[in-house]
Structure 1
Amino acid sequence: MSNIKQILVVDDDQSIRELLSEYLTKMGFSVNSAADGIEMALQLKISQPDLIILDVMMPGDDGFVLCQRVRQESNVPIIMLTANSDEVDRVLGLEIGADDYMAKPFSPRELLARVKALLRRSAFHQETVPTTKPRYIQFSGWKLDTLQHSLSSDEHEALSLTGADFQLLMLFLDNPNQVISRDRICQALHGRNAFANERGIDVHLSRLRQNLGDDAKSPQIIKTLRGAGYVWIAEVQVLNE
């Protein structure tokens, strides 16, 4: 079986598609491309990529809509590209399930570093979760399925976690009652070659708290220690099922 990772580049700019296809192919990846959401859907029916590079501004369904659509069925890592320098667009991408983002124009070398970091993280989960993690973990009325990356509760609808959300949650569950620094969160989400982004960390934490129904002003699950980091304060129970 081939170990070559497959990347899907979705961008309406042909020059961007050609640039990334040529560069990433030289770097040892298998690259497919799509100019819009329709072509993207066709590509996803043919094969499931290991990572998607997704432009925000495209004709028809934009990148935000397509990202949400992918997240309904898959936890594949997604890097979003935006030509808008406004932080709002980039934050929105993270909030709807993207794992990382880059602003245009971008450095292909930096994009490559981010691609490799996300693929390492994804490979780590695939290799370790089935063998070293318990299948189910319970806390504060929630039940986490570490194999399916899903949360269930009697009081809430089931949630499917993105790769970044699951990684952050497992970081806390593996280290209850311990202070987790922002630097450690950044490394856990983006790997050794992490590119620090304060706002991005805030978005990930806020989204996790929102999913868990935890109020940052009166926390029952994740407590903020100003200047130090964050502490998981809820009781964690491993279920033997």
Structure 2
Amino acid sequence: MSTPASPRILLVEDDEVIREATQLALERYGFPVDTAGDGLEGLERFRAAPPDLLLLDVMLPLLDGVGLCRRIREESQLPILMMSARTEPIDVISGLEAGADDYVVKPFEIAVLVARIRTVLRRTGFGPTATAAAAATAPGNSVRVIDDLEVDTDAMEVKVAGRPVPLTPTELRLLLEFTAAPGVLMERQVLLERVWDYSWGADSRVVDVHVQRLRAKIGATRIETVRGFGYKLRRTT
């Protein structure tokens, strides 16, 4: 894996012109970039040399972006940013449900893409790390216990009924926000700012799908929806 100063990106894009233009632009910003032209090649390159971030198009031949994202999530928690010219809710949600951390809509300005990449990398280990962010807000006891849910904010480990639960860095940051204030309403915009580092208006569906993914891992009833506002963590007993 590359050093924090030069995180390496795997770009999977079937359009040769877009692929080459995006690669050159990202390299001008200092990112080493490997490329693949279809989903299966992308999977092979990921397995041969795991990158620091995966940037993939939704519409790919042989294995589409959603399928590729899902396959990689079975093997790794590396940050994934999806690109798509399709903005229908079902396309966005499908990518996020497959395990993507965020998405960007094509066509995009390269500065916008770079900002999204840096934000994802920052909250998953490049720049202030997830561990450092947690330590800054953690109470004196590093283990937060809510019913049978345990969150060790030093080791960055989560257990449910004693069983380890693997979370992506984004899911972990989201859970840290909830466990820091059980029973307190967390508005979607607040979560976007604290977890995704978005101080501007962003798509709240990102929050909704990540909450859905988190529920699937720690228990469906543990996070309560406050309709029209956001979510809160509640005790199950």
TM-score bin, normalised by smaller chain: 0.7 to 0.9
Residue 209 of structure 1 corresponds to: 215
Residue 233 of structure 1 corresponds to: 234
Residue 51 of structure 2 corresponds to: 49
Query: Kindly, what percent of the aligned residue pairs are identical?
Result: 34
Query: What is the TM-score normalised by the length of structure 2?
Result: 0.82
1:184 CA displacement: 1.3
Q: Could you give the per-residue CA deviations for residues 52-102 of structure 1, whole angstroms, max 9, x where no partner exists?
A: 111111111111111111111211111111232321011011112101112
**SS state at 1:33 partner:** strand
Q: Could you give the per-residue CA deviations for residues 4-32 of structure 1, whole angstroms, max 9, x where no partner exists?
A: 11111011111121111111111111111
Mapped contact 1:37–1:66 kept (Cα < 8 A): yes
Mapped contact 1:151–1:161 kept (Cα < 8 A): no
Mapped partners of 2:118, 2:85: distance in 1: 22
Q: What are structure 1's unaligned runs of at least 5 residues?
A: 216-220, 236-241
1:163 CA displacement: 2.5
Mapped partners of 1:158, 1:64: distance in 2: 26
Residue 36 of structure 2 corresponds to: 34
Task: State the one-letter code of the partner of 1:230.
Answer: Y
Residue 171 of structure 1 corresponds to: 177
**SS state at 2:33 partner:** strand
**SS state at 2:117 partner:** helix
Out of 8-17 and 188-197, give the one that drifted further. 188-197
Mapped contact 2:77–2:169 kept (Cα < 8 A): yes
Confirm whether residue 122 of structure 1 aligns to residue 129 of structure 2.
no
Number of residues of Structure 1 aligned to a counterpart in Structure 2: 228
Task: State the one-letter code of the partner of 1:199.
Answer: R
Residue 71 of structure 2 corresponds to: 69
Alpha-carbon RMSD across the aligned residues, in angstroms, is: 2.8
**SS state at 1:32 partner:** strand
Task: State the one-letter code of the partner of 1:141.
Answer: D
**1:187 equivalent among 187, 193, 205:** 193
Out of 137-146 and 115-124, give the one that drifted further. 137-146
Mapped partners of 2:113, 2:199: distance in 1: 11
Out of 127-136 and 94-103, give the one that drifted further. 127-136
Mapped partners of 2:100, 2:79: distance in 1: 7
**SS state at 1:38 partner:** helix
Mapped partners of 2:158, 2:73: distance in 1: 12
1:84-99 aligned at under 5 Å gives the runs 84-99=86-101
Task: State the one-letter code of the partner of 1:128.
Answer: A
Residue 206 of structure 2 corresponds to: 200
Task: State the one-letter code of the partner of 1:30.
Answer: P
Mapped partners of 1:226, 1:26: distance in 2: 44
Residue 147 of structure 2 corresponds to: 140
Residue 218 of structure 1 corresponds to: none
1:105 CA displacement: 2.1
Residue 104 of structure 1 corresponds to: 106
Q: What are structure 2's unaligned runs of at least 5 residues?
A: none
Mapped partners of 1:66, 1:140: distance in 2: 36
Mapped partners of 1:113, 1:2: distance in 2: 16
Mapped partners of 2:192, 2:88: distance in 1: 22
Mapped contact 1:113–1:193 kept (Cα < 8 A): no
Which one has more relative contact order, counting CA pairs under 8 Å at least 6 apart? 1
Query: What is the TM-score normalised by the length of structure 1?
Result: 0.81
**SS state at 1:44 partner:** helix
Out of 40-49 and 117-126, give the one that drifted further. 40-49
Distance change in 2, residues 1:193/1:9 (3 Å): farther
Residue 7 of structure 1 corresponds to: 9
